[in-house]
Structure 1
Amino acid sequence: MVNDDAAADLRPTSIEEPPPRWRIIGPGLVVAATGIGAGDLVATLVAGSRFGYTLLWAAIVGVLIKIALVEGAGRWSLASGRTIFEGWRLAGRWTVVFFAPYIVIWGFVYGAAAMSSTALPLAALFPGVHLNVFAIASGLIGALIVWFGRYKVFEYVIAFFVGLMFITVVGAAVVTLPNLGELVTGLVPRIPEGSLIYTLSLAGGVGGTITLAAYGYWLREKGWTTPRWMRVMRIDNSVAYVVSGVFVISMLVVGAELLYSSGVTIADGEGGLLDLASVLGERYGTFMSYFFLIGFWASSFSSILGVWNGVSLMFADFLGTVRGLAEDDPRRKIGGLYYRAYIVWLTIPPIALLFLGRPIGLIVAYGALGALFMPFLAVTLLYLLNSRHMPKPHRNTWWLNGILGAIAALFVALGANELLKALAPLVSP
């Protein structure tokens, strides 16, 4: 016969009996670390270098937007018991028509982009080694780490890289001695002349695209699968994106103090982070240059790990659902055939792009589909969280609908702008 203490140990943890605080943080940190890659860091850095602290408020709004979107994805998963892709299927077959080419083309191009981004700081640290050697090694090592699908190990590895990012990125901001008075003035919403696109991009682009939708899959791997985990999920999500907000503010501080104040310009794209490492080295010594390059590498490699794991889980669910496989079919599980097939797709075919260059038609398709994904996510979440498929106690309230509606409108505007940029090569003379 089981005594009362033993029985208490066997009961699943509920929101009334939360786990120890250190165990609460998990999937949220994974999705935040995956979403904030080198591209997001440099976008915030460039905004700081051109407008100082003026757009700080927009970066904070961007963090709040991601909290709302990821909370919606997590709430759908916990309350409905369905994955996000199963939800999209309920919204209509048109979602499959969009998602099928998206996940295939996106994975092919993103694989090359992520490996190249991770290789850049390594090539700067070890200039005697060719960039592509580091790129290929990064993809293969990332694939090996997530291949066997042990979520707990994966989460620990991500936590290590978040710690590394925190020390280096926040450390760079502290070294530049931020002006606290001007930092506070940046909390007042203002849109300087010529900054509208930067403002929208900071508000809408800080911290992930498709990886936001992967949150529900990581919740399942963590073992948080029922509504009793709702409060824990919200704490996890909020704390994780507060941490990501610290990264974003740190990069804005570096851009404002180190570049804006001295009129230094940097390159767009990940090359801007290499420029920043050089400026840090000139101002504070070679050590600071190497120190920051390590943080750059950590942000890029954590994105590889997160995408290789989370989006592969999404692909396995997508293919298993489309083929009508049972939910417990091993092919659609982490470590299963479909999961590993997508890891291979992310790793091996993109190597060709590293050597051959990226064909313009593929890049246009990638850019166009990518521009449409965030509006797709926001609009479908707005539908699902109000639908009959969502238990009534967990449906959106009027104010949550207002927030998600505003977010959807923002991403439609951003998507239209990105779509025009993606199609520009086809119409330019």
Structure 2
Amino acid sequence: MSTEQDPNIGAPPENWRQRVRQIGPGIMAAATGVGAGDLVATMVAGSRFGYALMWAVVLGAAFKLALGEAVGRWHLASGQTLLTGWRTLGKWVLWYFGAYAVVWGFSYGATAMSASGLPLNALFPGLSVRYWAMLCGLAGFLLVWFGRYAVLEKVMTVLVGVMFVTVVGTAVLVAPNIGDVFSGFVPKLPEGSLAYMLGLVGGVGGTITMAAYGYWTFAKGWRGPRWLPMMRTDNAVGYVTTGIFVVAMLVVGAELLAGHRVVDDDEGLLILGDTLAADYGQWARIPFLIGFFAVSFSSLIGVWNGVSLLFGDWWRTIRLPKDAESSAESHAGLTSSPAYRGYVLWLTFPPMALLFLDKPFLLTVTYGVLGALFMPFLAGTLLFLLNSSRVPAQGRSGWLSNFFLGLCVMLFVYVAYDQLVGLFT
């Protein structure tokens, strides 16, 4: 894949029809961030609390939309990558990100491959989950290693279309009560629902992959503040679409699984497939499993490419001389750099060992600690960078962006505290 500017792209689009044709990076970012784990968490919340937490799904999507817009605005307004911005805050920021990326990548690689292998094993049980997972990892590796950005965007768009048809179609199939659905948009917290609410608000498409959005805007050929309106449209389409996915999943959980004990991991989605088959026939199970695969594999592809771009830029940035200048164009060769390719390999092959063994305790704790701290780190650094002289005046945050980024920092700090307490107690 190349991140060089597309020569067919000139001035920013002037009307809505032209903007629709340019949409892509937002779909990549949002589809990457919403994986099988997010859908399971939403389904479990729906099975236990019905529609009472629908408002939390919508609020979570709004927070991620604000974060995605901030990431994109930094890249387009400053003309620099996010790693370059972090470098101005001190070397400790870069070392924190590097440590997080290494540990996170090893653990996530196995998680993403397993989540992609589960539905394929349910559809074709002749091969075990472990080996389906390995095949999915290899497929993602080859696609990212040899595919250009335009190819990846088309593949992701197809997968998002499959996700939309299958997940939303399943929600329509279960025939929800519209009055009950709308009642869920009124904020309320049933007893015992706080942890689920925090998970929904903090987990709708929110991971390290959000930081990759700006790199995909560069790969698309967008440069400079004049592309900000297009970026905002693109970002909004991506997160509105994934918000609809998650709302649909909560509907399915509330209607089909109320009163059932659902496994709180990726295998919980298989339980839903079996329930669909029991209630509507085997035909209903098959499209749902295809959608399950599309959700999981789109996350795998997005991470293999997006986080590898981040790691490649991290390696480039941390080796720059102290007073060296860095521009957006310096990211153009990242996909051919040893660091980018090495991280793609790191995501694919070492984690396959975890498909045979349980995760080591130390790795699990380290992954949990660094993961809990990343989202407040991202929101906090964006809040600082976008209100500083590092960004031209037209790219700085207004009151609305500052309001949402400030809320994100407070929410994610609380979620991090809650997760860390859970890890050590």
Q: Distance in 2 between matches of 1:178 and 1:297?
A: 24
Moved more, 46-55 or 355-364: 355-364
What's the CA shift string for 1:17-45, capped at 9, x where partnerless? Answer: 67724322100000011011000001111
SS of the residue corresponding to residue 20 of structure 2 reads helix
Q: CA deviation at 1:415?
A: 0.8
SS of the residue corresponding to residue 135 of structure 2 reads helix
Q: Distance in 2 between matches of 1:212 and 1:122?
A: 27
Which of 241, 256, 271 matches 2:267? 271
Indicate the residue corresponding to 2:291 in structure 1: 295
Indicate the residue corresponding to 2:132 in structure 1: 134
Q: Distance in 2 between matches of 1:167 and 1:18?
A: 24
Which of 318, 324, 328 matches 1:322? 318
Q: Distance in 2 between matches of 1:332 and 1:180?
A: 51
Q: In the alignment, residue 80 of structure 2 is paired with which amino acid?
A: R
Q: Distance in 2 between matches of 1:133 and 1:49?
A: 31
Which of 50, 55, 58 matches 2:56? 58
Matches within 5 A, 1:225-264: 225-260=223-258, 263-264=259-260
Per the alignment, do residues 92 and 157 of structure 1 end up closer, same or farther by CA in structure 2, a change over 3 Å counting? same
Q: Distance in 2 between matches of 1:173 and 1:329?
A: 45
Matches within 5 A, 1:57-96: 57-96=55-94
What's the CA shift string for 1:117-137, capped at 9, x where partnerless? Answer: 111111111222121111111
Indicate the residue corresponding to 1:4 in structure 2: none
Matches within 5 A, 1:106-145: 106-145=104-143
Q: Distance in 2 between matches of 1:203 and 1:44?
A: 10
Moved more, 15-24 or 81-90: 15-24
Q: Distance in 2 between matches of 1:29 and 1:130?
A: 31
Q: CA deviation at 1:423?
A: 3.0
Contact 1:111–1:350 (CA under 8 A) maintained in structure 2: yes
What's the CA shift string for 1:282-307, capped at 9, x where partnerless? Answer: 00111111211111111000000000
Tell whether 2:334 aligns with 1:333.
Answer: yes
What's the CA shift string for 1:42-101, capped at 9, x where partnerless? Answer: 111111111111110110001000100000000000000111111111122221231111
SS of the residue corresponding to residue 208 of structure 1 reads coil
Q: CA deviation at 1:380?
A: 0.5
Aligned pairs, how many? 414
What's the CA shift string for 1:126-171, capped at 9, x where partnerless? Answer: 2221211111111110010010240000000000100111111011
- Give the TM-score, by structure 2 length: 0.94
Which of 177, 180, 186 matches 1:179? 177
SS of the residue corresponding to residue 102 of structure 2 reads helix
Indicate the residue corresponding to 1:308 in structure 2: 304
Moved more, 128-137 or 309-318: 128-137
Q: CA deviation at 1:16?
A: 4.3
Contact 1:78–1:229 (CA under 8 A) maintained in structure 2: yes
Contact 1:84–1:216 (CA under 8 A) maintained in structure 2: yes
Moved more, 274-283 or 398-407: 398-407
Indicate the residue corresponding to 2:362 in structure 1: 361
Per the alignment, do residues 53 and 11 of structure 1 end up closer, same or farther by CA in structure 2, a change over 3 Å counting? closer
Q: Distance in 2 between matches of 1:393 and 1:32?
A: 25
Q: Distance in 1 between matches of 2:363 and 2:53?
A: 33
Contact 2:9–2:221 (CA under 8 A) maintained in structure 1: no
Q: Distance in 2 between matches of 1:349 and 1:53?
A: 41
Moved more, 9-18 or 88-97: 9-18
What's the CA shift string for 1:354-378, capped at 9, x where partnerless? Answer: 1132111011101110011001001
Q: Distance in 2 between matches of 1:99 and 1:242?
A: 28
- The runs of 5 or more residues in structure 1 that have no matched partner are 1-8, 425-429
- Give the TM-score, by structure 1 length: 0.93
Q: Sequence identity, in percent?
A: 53
Indicate the residue corresponding to 1:199 in structure 2: 197
Contact 2:26–2:238 (CA under 8 A) maintained in structure 1: yes
Contact 2:13–2:19 (CA under 8 A) maintained in structure 1: no
Indicate the residue corresponding to 2:96 in structure 1: 98
SS of the residue corresponding to residue 335 of structure 2 reads coil
Q: Distance in 2 between matches of 1:165 and 1:150?
A: 23
SS of the residue corresponding to residue 20 of structure 1 reads helix
- The runs of 5 or more residues in structure 2 that have no matched partner are 1-6
Q: Distance in 2 between matches of 1:239 and 1:369?
A: 30
Per the alignment, do residues 70 and 331 of structure 1 end up closer, same or farther by CA in structure 2, a change over 3 Å counting? closer
Indicate the residue corresponding to 2:408 in structure 1: 407
Contact 2:313–2:331 (CA under 8 A) maintained in structure 1: no
Q: CA deviation at 1:208?
A: 2.7
Q: Distance in 2 between matches of 1:176 and 1:10?
A: 45
Q: Distance in 2 between matches of 1:364 and 1:122?
A: 30
Q: In the alignment, residue 355 of structure 2 is paired with which amino acid?
A: L
Q: CA deviation at 1:10?
A: 8.5
Contact 2:113–2:136 (CA under 8 A) maintained in structure 1: yes
Moved more, 45-54 or 93-102: 93-102
Contact 1:364–1:422 (CA under 8 A) maintained in structure 2: yes
What's the CA shift string for 1:273-331, capped at 9, x where partnerless? Answer: 01100100100111111211111111000000000000000011000111128766789
Q: CA deviation at 1:104?
A: 0.5
Q: In the alignment, residue 277 of structure 2 is paired with which amino acid?
A: G
Per the alignment, do residues 17 and 53 of structure 1 end up closer, same or farther by CA in structure 2, a change over 3 Å counting? closer
Contact 2:19–2:230 (CA under 8 A) maintained in structure 1: no
SS of the residue corresponding to residue 214 of structure 1 reads helix
Q: Distance in 1 between matches of 2:85 and 2:310?
A: 12
Q: In the alignment, residue 185 of structure 2 is paired with which amino acid?
A: L
Q: In the alignment, residue 337 of structure 1 is paired with which amino acid?
A: P
Q: CA deviation at 1:411?
A: 0.3
Per the alignment, do residues 360 and 18 of structure 1 end up closer, same or farther by CA in structure 2, a change over 3 Å counting? same
Per the alignment, do residues 297 and 372 of structure 1 end up closer, same or farther by CA in structure 2, a change over 3 Å counting? same
